[in-house]
Chain A
Amino acid sequence: MTDFPINIAKYISSIKESGIVICLHIDEYDTLVGWEGDLGYLGISDLIINQPITNQLGFLEGMLPATDTIVLRFVSFAEGYYTHVHIVSYNNNTYVLLFDATFEYEQQQKMQQQINDLKLLTLYKDQLLRALEEKNTSIKQVDKFKNQFIIKKLQSLATACKKRFY
């Protein structure tokens, strides 16, 4: 357990995310100073204080130290758990706030799935139409050759008949 600055508390109350689940306090050397919240709720097994945070939560690799506030929407670092991550810089320290986004994720995922499925269906329909058009063109081409061949044959037959009867 750790004490969090009033400014961080103010930040949390100022944003529109649903309930905060975990708050991490990280110093300027990327070491975990303290944390509060229910780790298991977001699929995190354990955290060790005074140890580098990037070794414990790999997703923070490259993210620290934060110089400004970073918001990452719908982050999943454990199967079935989704969070909105806010990385807030304050007094040379970084505060990582994890908000549960599982319900919101499920809604969003269903919607996005339908959009993408529809896009794919449209694309496949276009591909089939293109293939159909190509087939149609080649059939027309074959027909044209066939007709030309028949005309030539008929003409040569007519010439042969003329020679025979006249």
Chain B
Amino acid sequence: MGILQKKICMIGDFSVGKTSLVAKFVRQTFSDKYLTTVGVKIDTKLLTLPNGNQMKFILWDIAGSESLTTTTASYLRGVAGFLLVVDGTRLPTWNSALNLREAVEKQLGNKPFVILLNKADLQDQWEMDEQVIEEKTKQGWKLLTTSAKSGMNVEEAFLELALLMT
């Protein structure tokens, strides 16, 4: 049996850490320097699932945006699932994520997704409301607190999405 190939999109507001999460997941690297993504960067990674099967992720790291533009929408064609990234130290990025999720659902229907509350290493600047997170978890949404810097929950986030797609 051939390896299953899935297109995954990283979406979220600018500077939330989408590129850093991909860099950590694919190359095990991290840089504190913020370099804006323009357009889309594509990477691949072979993932081994708990049942031993393998899945090839085609990762589309899309330029940050607070809403779904026509350009962003064109990148989403054929997506199998997506990671919605939030900067835990900037509350407005949570609202952007909610808007994006709603827009993606309108455009593509229900697709598996996981919300990543990134920059967990900056806990002293954390702005996320635990009650809101709990509420979403109760609704059945998958949320993970991640840190591209420390690597916390990075592998787990991609694996979680893979499991939602199987």
How many Å lie between the Cα of A148 and that of B42 in the bound state?
Answer: 64
Contact among B5, B77, B80 for A54, CB-based, below 8 A? B5
Q: Could you tell me if B15 and A120 are in contact, using CB atoms closer than 8 angstroms?
A: yes
The contact string, 1 if C-beta is below 8 Å from chain A, for chain B 1-16, is 0000111000000110
Q: Please give me the residue from chain B that is nearest to A104 by CB atom.
A: B38
Interface residues of A in 35-87 (CB under 8 A from B): 54-55, 58-59, 61-63, 70-77, 82
A-B pairs with beta carbons under 8 A, tally: 67
Among A62, A63, A77, point to the contact of B80 (Cβ < 8 A).
A62
Q: Is B41 an interface residue (CB 8 A)?
A: yes
Q: Interface centre among B6, B38, B60, B64, by most A CB within 10 Å? A: B38
- How far apart are A31's CB and chain B's nearest CB, in angstroms? 15
Please name all residues of chain A whose beta carbon is closer than 8 Å to the beta carbon of B141 when the two chains form the complex. none
What 0/1 readout, one digit per residue, does chain B (128-142) give for beta carbons within 8 Å of chain A?
A: 000000000000000
Contact bitstring B96-115, A, C-beta under 8 A = 1, else 0: 00000000000000000000
A116 pairs with B39, CB closer than 8 A? no
For the complex formed, measure the closest distance between the CB of A61 and the CB atoms of chain B, giving whole angstroms: 5
A64 to chain B: closest residue by CB: B78
Report the bound CA distance from A74 to B39 in whole Å.
5
Residues of A within 8 A of B6 (CB): 61
Q: How far is the CA of A77 from the CA of B74 in the complex (A)?
A: 16
Q: Does A137 contact B (CB under 8 A)?
A: no
Nearest CB on A from B25, distance (A): 15
With A62-B77, A120-B15 in contact, do A75 and B38 touch (Cβ < 8 Å)? no
Whole-angstrom distance between the alpha carbons of A108 and B58 in the complex?
Answer: 25
A108 contact set on B, CB distance < 8 A: 38
Q: Per-position contact with B for A106-124: 1 when CB-CB < 8 Å, else 0?
A: 0011001100110110010
A105: interface (CB < 8 Å) = yes
Contact B39 A76 (CB under 8 A): yes
| A63 partner, pick from B36, B44, B78, beta carbons under 8 A | B78
CB closest chain-B residue, reference A54: B5
Question: In the complex, A108 Cα to B71 Cα: how many Å?
Answer: 15
Q: Which residues of A contact B (CB under 8 A)?
A: 54-55, 58-59, 61-63, 70-77, 82, 105, 108-109, 112-113, 116-117, 119-120, 123
Known contacts A61-B58, A62-B77, A113-B35; 10 further A-B pairs (Cβ under 8 A): A58-B5, A62-B78, A63-B77, A63-B78, A71-B74, A74-B38, A75-B39, A76-B40, A109-B36, A120-B15
